[in-house]
C-alpha cells in the first residue's frame, strides 16, 4: 500500500485507559492520493489496482474516519488491537474524512477498512464465502471447538 499511496499517514488522536486495564485508542488513516499502481497482494483477496483504471471520483486525497479501537497490553507491549467498526466525529486534530468512507463505515463491515478502499477505487472485494458468513452470525455454542458428544 505504501507504494500506491506514498503519502499515507497513520494518526493516533487519543488514548484513554479503561477501568478493565484496556485502552481506548482513536486512530485515523490519511491515505492521500493513489499515485502508483497497487499490485495484487499474494495470500489475500486484494486485487491489483491500476491508477489509470480508478474512477475519477477516487483520484483525490483519501482520508478514513476516526476509528475507535480497544488495545490490550501485556508487559508494556500491545498484545491485541480490536476495531469493530465504531467511528467518532469531532475529534481534535482529526483530518476531514472523505464522505464516501464515512458512509462505508456506517453501512457495516462489508465496506469498512480495506473493503471500503477497494470499493472506492472501483475494485470491490467479493463477499466472504457463505460458510464463513454463517459461522460469523452463529451463536458461540454452534461454532464451539468442543468435541461432539
Predicted structure pTM score = 0.80
Residue 126 CB-density burial (10 A; 0-12 exposed, 13-18 middle, 19+ buried): exposed
| Inter-residue contact 126 to 45 (CB < 8 Å) | yes
Instruction: Look at residue 32 and tell me whether its pLDDT is greater than 70.
Output: yes
**Over the stretch 98-137, which tens digit does the pLDDT of each residue have?**
999 999 999 999 999 999 999 999 999 987 777 654 555 5
Q: Can you tell me the mean pLDDT for 31-54?
A: 93
Structure confidence at residue 135 (pLDDT): 52
In the chain, the N- to C-terminal Cα span, in Å, equals 47
Which positions ≥6 away from 106 have C-beta within 8 Å?
A: 87
- Quick check: helix, strand or coil at residue 30? strand
DSSP assignments along 55-112, one per residue = -GGGSS-EEPPEEEEEEEEETTEEEEEEEEEEEESS-TTPPPPPHHHHHHHHH-GGGS
Amino acid at each position: 500500500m505504501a507504494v500506491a499511496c506514498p503519502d499515507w499517514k497513520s494518526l493516533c488522536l487519543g488514548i484513554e485507559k479503561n477501568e478493565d486495564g484496556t485502552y481506548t485508542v482513536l486512530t485515523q488513516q490519511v491515505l492521500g492520493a493513489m499515485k502508483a499502481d497497487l499490485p495484487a497482494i499474494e495470500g489475500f483477496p486484494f486485487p491489483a489496482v491500476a491508477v489509470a483504471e480508478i474512477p475519477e471520483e477516487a483520484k483525490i486525497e483519501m482520508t478514513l474516519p476516526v476509528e475507535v479501537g480497544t488495545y490490550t497490553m501485556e508487559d508494556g507491549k500491545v498484545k491485541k488491537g480490536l476495531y469493530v467498526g465504531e467511528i467518532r466525529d469531532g475529534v481534535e486534530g482529526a483530518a476531514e474524512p472523505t464522505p464516501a468512507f464515512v458512509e462505508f463505515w456506517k453501512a457495516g463491515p462489508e465496506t469498512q477498512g480495506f473493503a471500503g478502499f477497494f470499493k472506492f477505487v472501483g475494485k470491490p472485494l467479493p463477499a466472504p464465502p457463505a460458510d464463513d458468513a454463517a459461522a460469523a452470525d452463529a451463536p458461540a455454542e454452534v461454532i464451539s471447538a468442543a468435541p461432539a458428544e
